[in-house]
Chain A
Amino acid sequence: MNAPHQQPDDQWDLWEVFLQEGENEPHTHAGSIRAADAENALQNARDVFSRRGAVKNLWIVRSRDIVATVPGDTASFFEPGSDKVYRHPQFYRFTLADELWKKP
Chain B
Amino acid sequence: MSENTAMLEEQFRRRIAGGETIEPNDWMPDKYRSQLKRLISQHAHSEIIGMLPEGNWITRAPSLRRKLALLAKVQDEAGHGHYLYSAAETLGISREEMFDQLHAGKAKYSSIFNYPTLSWADMGMIGWLVDGAAIINQTTMAKCSYGPYSRALLRICKEENFHKKQGMEVIAMLIASGPKGKAMVQESFDRFWWPTLMMFGPHDAESPNSPDMLKWKIKLKGNDELRQRFIDMTVEQAHAWGLTIPDPHLKFNEQTRSWETGEIDWKEFQAVINGNGPCNHERMEARRNAHDNGAWVRDAARAYEAKHRRNGGTTV
Interface segment out of the listed B51-59, B123-131, B168-176, B298-306: B298-306
Instruction: Please classify the interface of chain B as helix (H, G, I), strand (E, B), loop, or mixed, using the class held by over half of its residues.
Output: helix
Q: Which residues of B contact A70 (CB under 8 A)?
A: 25
Q: Give the CA-CA distance A1 to B106 in the complex, in Å.
A: 9
Interface segment out of the listed A7-15, A75-83, A96-104: A7-15
- Interface range on chain A (Cβ under 8 Å from partner): 20 to 34
Let me know if B79 and A51 touch, CB within 8 A: yes
As a 0/1 sequence over residues 66 to 80 of chain A, the CB contacts with chain B under 8 angstroms (1 = contact) are: 001011100000000
Q: Give the CA-CA distance A32 to B79 in the complex, in Å.
A: 11
Q: Give the CA-CA distance A40 to B297 in the complex, in Å.
A: 12
Let me know if A31 and B151 touch, CB within 8 A: yes
The answer to whether residues A48 and B79 also contact, given A31-B86, A42-B316 and a CB cut-off of 8 A, is yes
The listed residue with most A CB atoms (<10 A of its CB), out of B26, B27, B103, is B103
Let me know if A9 and B295 touch, CB within 8 A: yes
As a 0/1 sequence over residues 23 to 62 of chain A, the CB contacts with chain B under 8 angstroms (1 = contact) are: 0000000111111111110100001110110000000000
Is A85 interfacial (CB 8 A cutoff)?
Answer: no
Let me know if A48 and B103 touch, CB within 8 A: no
Let me know if B26 and A40 touch, CB within 8 A: no
Closest to B162 in A: A52
The answer to whether residues A1 and B105 also contact, given A11-B96, A71-B25 and a CB cut-off of 8 A, is yes
Let me know if B96 and A9 touch, CB within 8 A: yes
Is B314 interfacial (CB 8 A cutoff)?
Answer: yes
Q: Which residues of A contact B291 (CB under 8 A)?
A: 5
Closest to A37 in B: B305
Closest to A38 in B: B316
Let me know if A32 and B314 touch, CB within 8 A: no
Let me know if A5 and B301 touch, CB within 8 A: no
Let me know if B25 and A12 touch, CB within 8 A: no
Is A2 interfacial (CB 8 A cutoff)?
Answer: yes
Let me know if A1 and B25 touch, CB within 8 A: no
Let me know if B301 and A32 touch, CB within 8 A: no
Q: Which residues of A contact B26 (CB under 8 A)?
A: 71
Closest to A40 in B: B301
The answer to whether residues A31 and B83 also contact, given A1-B275, A36-B304, A40-B315 and a CB cut-off of 8 A, is yes
The 8 Å CB contact of B308, one of A37, A42, A71, is A37
As a 0/1 sequence over residues 149 to 165 of chain B, the CB contacts with chain A under 8 angstroms (1 = contact) are: 00110010001000000
Is A4 interfacial (CB 8 A cutoff)?
Answer: yes
Q: Which of B97-116 contact A (CB under 8 A)?
A: 99-100, 103-105
Q: Give the CA-CA distance A56 to B50 in the complex, in Å.
A: 31
- Give 13 A-B contacts (CB < 8 Å), ordered by A residue: A5-B291, A7-B295, A8-B100, A14-B89, A37-B314, A38-B316, A39-B315, A40-B315, A47-B79, A48-B79, A51-B72, A51-B159, A52-B159
